[in-house]
């Protein structure tokens, strides 16, 4: 799917939500559309340093049950040698979230990362579609989350048990409207064929709302070895795990 088709789809989905909200005073549907200079997922660029158009639609029930869909353009699958077209990620997810004891919260769910298109995986790899279950617990501005892969993981076969442990902090700065964020995560691959893929990532961010548009500036980096698992083949040889600054703008409806 082209960038323009993806953008049109996301905008139409987002515009549909306000009309639902007018019909029902408290709509359980929300939508979001955004643009980022680089799509970073767990410290790894999904677009080889290029911009991405992103957005999704969410449903949240008063009971705590939720479901949603989210999409973005990507290039990493073909950057690593797949042939054909694999330029869109479309994630579907569902779960349950709630709070307890005043300042505590929890979230459990399932997510599927779908990579749309007709492509042939690079040698020694498989299709990128991936299933994860996850659980998170939060206290005020601090959240810890654990994600567990149910089978093949992002083109790596026989990787059941691959997991990602992360800790996130989000602290509003009084009277400025700025929210500071800090993140640490560790991606641990299972299976002998992907031992070199294990790494840790870090991120610092600052976000501010400008009339309904959320602007975020973030710096992320990893401890993955330069020229290693996350470097694309020659002649491009781009290190997708390098330190990166990304600027993003998003709007929720």
> What pLDDT is recorded for position 173?
95
Residue 33: its pLDDT value, please? 98
Q: What does the mean pLDDT of the chain come to?
A: 91
Q: What is the pLDDT of residues 22-66, one digit of tens each?
A: 445 678 999 999 999 999 999 999 999 999 999 999 999 999 999
| CA pair distance 75, 89, nearest whole angstrom | 9
Q: What is the pLDDT of residue 5?
A: 57
At residue 227, the pLDDT reads 85
Domain ranges of the chain: 3-252
| CATH code of the region 3-252 | 2.40.160.40
Q: Mean per-residue pLDDT for 78-83?
A: 94
Question: What is the mean predicted confidence (pLDDT) over 87-107?
Answer: 96
Tens digit of each residue's pLDDT (9 = 90 or more) over 169-196: 999 998 899 999 999 999 999 976 677 8
Query: Which H or E run contains 8?
Result: helix 3-23
- Band of the pLDDT at 235, cuts 50, 70, 90? confident
Residue 19: the pLDDT is 47
Q: Mean per-residue pLDDT for 230-242?
A: 92
pLDDT tens for residues 13-22? Answer: 555 555 444 4
What integer pLDDT is reported at residue 21 of this predicted model?
44
Predicted pLDDT of residue 236 = 84
């Amino acid at each position: 799917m082209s960038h323009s088709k993806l953008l049109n789809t996301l905008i139409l989905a987002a515009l549909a939500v306000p009309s639902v909200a007018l019909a029902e005073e408290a709509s359980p549907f929300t939508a979001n559309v955004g643009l980022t200079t680089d799509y970073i997922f767990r410290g790894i660029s999904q677009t080889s340093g290029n911009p991405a158009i992103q957005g999704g639609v969410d449903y949240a029930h008063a009971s705590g049950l939720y479901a949603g869909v989210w999409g973005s353009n990507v290039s990493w699958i073909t950057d690593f040698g797949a042939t054909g077209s694999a330029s869109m990620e479309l994630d579907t997810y569902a779960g349950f979230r709630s709070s307890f004891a005043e300042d505590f919260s929890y979230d459990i769910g399932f997510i599927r990362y779908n990579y749309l298109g007709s492509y042939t995986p690079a040698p020694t790899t498989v299709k990128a579609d991936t299933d994860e279950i996850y659980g998170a617990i939060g206290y005020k501005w601090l959240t810890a989350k654990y994600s567990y892969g149910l089978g093949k993981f992002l083109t790596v076969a026989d990787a059941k048990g691959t997991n990602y442990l992360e800790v996130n902090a989000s602290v509003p700065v009084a009277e400025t409207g700025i929210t500071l964020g800090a993140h640490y995560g560790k991606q641990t691959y299972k299976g002998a064929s992907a031992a070199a893929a294990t790494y840790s990532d870090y991120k610092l961010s600052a976000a501010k709302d400008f009339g309904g548009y959320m602007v975020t500036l973030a710096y992320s980096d990893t401890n993955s070895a330069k020229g290693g698992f996350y470097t694309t083949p020659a002649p491009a040889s781009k290190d997708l795990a390098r330190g990166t600054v990304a600027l993003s703008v998003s709007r929720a409806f």
